[in-house]
Amino acid sequence: MAAIIQQKEEKFKELEQYIDSLPDTKGELIRVLHKAQGIFGFLPEEVQRFIAKKMKVSTAKVFGVVSFYSFFTMEPKGEVDISICLGTACYVRGAEKILTELKKETGAEVGKTTPNGKFSITGLRCIGACGLAPVFTIGEKVYGRVTPEQVKDIIAQYK
């Protein structure tokens, strides 16, 4: 437990140093949020409050920006985060069926993490790999031209 608290303190320290290193915080909220999400993996209320205080803006404003952009998330990603392309090219080549299978196999929903923290699914607009449609990625690994039947075996490797 002590180790976790210490780890968390270090993360806040890293974020604080980053904000302090900026010559001017005017207009830099999105940059800071990118950094914070890089450090913490997500942007919980605590982190948003911290940023608001450091940058001397209201927490409501920080929340307003966080909730506006799809890249920012207030929920931690799963240990295995599956990013599925939901762009049009993938849609017409059957991405919805792949998504249904992914949900079934992992128990996660788009934008949600399973209660045990194992799987999460992130919906992407287009990853620009339309030649591989339908496509999803897990970490660095790209699964292209996937068929619904293959999903079960792919996910089994991560269970």
The residue ranges that bind another protein (CB under 8 A) are 26-31, 33-34, 64-65, 68-72, 86-89, 91-93, 97, 124-133, 135, 137, 142, 144, 148-149
Q: What does the DSSP assignment read for 1-61?
A: -HHHHHHHHHHHHHHHHHHHHSS--TT-HHHHHHHHHHHHSS--HHHHHHHHHHHTS-HHH
d(CA 85, CA 121): 11
Residue 130 known to bind ligand: yes
Nearer to another protein by C-beta: 74 or 124?
124
Full strand arrangement of the beta sheet holding 141-143: 119-124, 80-85, 136-138, 141-143
Q: Position of tokens 């909220």?
A: 29
Nearer to another protein by C-beta: 11 or 97?
97
Please state the closest distance from residue 9 (CB atom) to another protein, in A: 26
Nearer to another protein by C-beta: 10 or 42?
42
Please state the closest distance from residue 126 (CB atom) to another protein, in A: 4
d(CA 101, CA 152): 7
d(CA 95, CA 133): 8
Nearer to another protein by C-beta: 14 or 28?
28
Please state the closest distance from residue 56 (CB atom) to another protein, in A: 13
Please state the closest distance from residue 149 (CB atom) to another protein, in A: 8
Residue 126 known to bind ligand: yes
Summarize the annotated binding site for [2Fe-2S] cluster as residue ranges.
Answer: 85, 90, 126, 130
Summarize the annotated binding site as residue ranges.
Answer: 85, 90, 126, 130
